[in-house]
């Protein structure tokens, strides 16, 4: 995935029901992946020290900060049977959960949750779709999730400073967006006297397919969606999609699209010089600081979905859950204790402490209810980044304390989160949540690999002008190619799934 992924039902009344203070200190073994960008050392991090104070549990750690090495380590530990007690920030796929549950190496947590993780269980009962999402087809719950009700989204961010400089209204549909991008290209909105503006940058077909919302289409990674009649549709063959390709081809010919959009990555297009003039008019991403220095990022605001026939829709990327973050192995002699430990993180108070530490020691709250890290931020920066918490890298099992986070004493963070909250009102799930069995994965994966690659490559060829989107022969050849690469088999597969879900 090229996308990163960024940063309430209150269960406070259920918090800390188990008398942890009565527990004797017990040590367990933990292994996990803290993220490729991690600078944390679990054995020294205050997060685990605070958790030990609350629960009496301590750990010895096998921490990884390289994803490939973590994947290899997982494979080896299950192959050899040399298992830790718990996998934390586990990055367990559905297939891994199924495989290692069947081998008896990962235990079914579902029978234990109501008694030993009452806060998480209350959330799952209040949100049956969350419970369904973490439950395997055989009814087992092998791994616990991250819950974040403001999930990472591949949103559109537009340069508000440029709009103001050129006295432009915020675009509200595809036609008005094109007019704005033309003005960005010719109007020198960054004021440096150079024609260096890139009206719209993007990361290949992934980003551009999000723009399909502007013609009323939203599809998932399989390029499918379920229509109102319950029929599975394939977006790349729809007439409105072909019209969008024509529009994007014209935009590219005008120089409105990043010429490197099909050849770049986040690493190469990221800007690190805070003094450099902004050059991007519009881009897609979780938030502006994923791509730009903080000072530059403040120029951007979220562009709400463009209207089509009076409606605003936008694709739901991940939903509020990240799966596979916490699992207990057969090596653990007391799974209930580890569930009580992790359940703290699904409470509001527990999650706040996991993020920011202890009130009045690690953070303070002012008279307006806004919180800040305690002490001088400059002298404390290393501690905050490396030792205070581990929430900011990898996917941990918890309920992200969104309300608390949104009250951080920083106007830009509050602004971005408020905008993303507004976006949620337009979010559409193209296809119902469904967990594939390993056999189903084996069936659909080769079809999706071949057909998905063909769709993405064809999009690039049409937009770049290598294929003529206005040629009926070229379009007919493309449509024939969809069938040749497995379109009918893909639709038959997913229609079967959709039909089974409707019964």
Helix or strand (DSSP H, E) at 118: helix 118-126
The reported pLDDT for the residue numbered 15 is 35
CB 38 within 8 A of CB 324: no
Q: What is the pLDDT of residue 3?
A: 36
Q: Which spans in 145-293 are helix H?
A: 160-165, 174-186, 204-210, 239-253, 266-269
Scan for tokens 């395997």, then name that residue: 136
In angstroms, the CA 321 to CA 312 distance is 24
pLDDT at 379: 64
How many C-beta atoms surround the C-beta of residue 445 within 10 A? 11
Low-confidence ranges of the chain (pLDDT < 50): 1-24
Which residues touch 335 (CB under 8 Å, ≥6 apart)?
Answer: 107, 109, 112, 116, 328
The CA distance from 150 to 187, in Å, is 35
Q: What is the pTM of this model?
A: 0.87
- How many angstroms separate the most distant Cα atoms in the chain? 76
User: Which H or E element spans position 62?
Assistant: strand 57-64
Element (H, E) at 297: helix 294-297
pLDDT at 19: 37
Q: What is the pLDDT of residues 143-154, one digit of tens each?
A: 999 999 987 899
Q: Which domains does the chain have, with CATH numbers?
A: 12-151+320-400 (3.40.190.10)
């Amino acid at each position: 995935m090229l996308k990163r992924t960024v940063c309430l039902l209150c269960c406070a009344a259920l918090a800390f029901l188990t008398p942890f203070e009565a527990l004797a200190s017990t040590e367990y073994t933990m292994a996990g992946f803290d993220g490729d960008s991690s600078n944390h050392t679990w054995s020294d991090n205050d997060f685990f020290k605070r958790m030990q104070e609350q629960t009496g549990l301590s750990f010895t750690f096998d921490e990884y900060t390289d994803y490939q090495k973590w994947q290899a380590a997982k494979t080896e530990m299950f192959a050899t049977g040399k298992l830790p007690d718990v996998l934390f920030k586990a990055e367990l796929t559905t297939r891994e959960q199924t495989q290692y549950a069947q081998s008896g190496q990962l235990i079914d947590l579902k029978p234990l949750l109501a008694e030993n993780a009452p806060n998480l269980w209350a959330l799952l009962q209040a949100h049956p779709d969350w419970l369904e999402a973490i439950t395997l087809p055989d009814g087992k719950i092998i791994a616990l999730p991250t819950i974040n009700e403001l999930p990472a989204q591949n949103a559109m961010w537009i340069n508000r400073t440029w709009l103001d400089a050129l006295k432009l209204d915020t675009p509200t549909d595809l036609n008005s967006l094109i007019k704005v991008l033309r003005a960005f290209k010719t109007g020198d909105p960054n004021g440096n006297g150079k024609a260096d503006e890139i009206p719209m940058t993007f990361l290949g077909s992934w980003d551009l397919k999000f723009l399909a919302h502007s013609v009323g289409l939203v599809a998932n990674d399989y390029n499918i969606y379920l229509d109102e009649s319950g029929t599975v549709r394939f977006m790349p063959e729809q007439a409105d999609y072909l019209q969008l390709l024509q529009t994007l081809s014209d935009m590219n010919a005008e120089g409105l699209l990043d010429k490197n959009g099909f050849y770049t990555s986040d690493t190469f297009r990221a800007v690190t010089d805070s003094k450099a003039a902004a050059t991007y008019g519009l881009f897609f991403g979780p938030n502006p600081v994923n791509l730009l220095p903080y000072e530059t990022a403040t120029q951007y605001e979220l562009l709400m979905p463009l209207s089509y026939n009076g409606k605003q829709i936008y694709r739901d990327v991940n939903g509020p859950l990240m799966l596979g973050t916490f699992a207990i192995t057969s090596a653990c002699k007391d799974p209930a204790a580890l569930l009580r430990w992790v359940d703290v993180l699904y409470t509001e108070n527990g999650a706040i402490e996991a993020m920011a530490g202890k009130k009045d020691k690690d953070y303070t709250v002012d008279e307006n209810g806004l919180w800040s890290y305690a002490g001088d931020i400059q002298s404390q920066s290393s501690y905050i980044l490396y030792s205070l918490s581990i929430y900011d890298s990898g996917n941990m099992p918890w309920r992200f304390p969104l309300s608390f986070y949104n009250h951080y004493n920083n106007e830009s963070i509050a602004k971005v989160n408020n905008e993303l909250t507004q976006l949620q009102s337009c979010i559409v799930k193209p296809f119902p949540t469904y967990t594939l069995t390993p056999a189903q994965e084996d069936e659909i994966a080769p079809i999706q690999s071949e057909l998905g690659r063909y769709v993405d490559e064809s999009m690039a060829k049409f937009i770049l002008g290598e294929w003529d989107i206005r040629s009926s022969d070229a379009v007919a050849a493309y449509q024939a190619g969809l069938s040749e690469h497995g379109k009918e088999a893909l639709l038959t597969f997913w229609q079967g799934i959709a039909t089974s879900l409707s019964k």
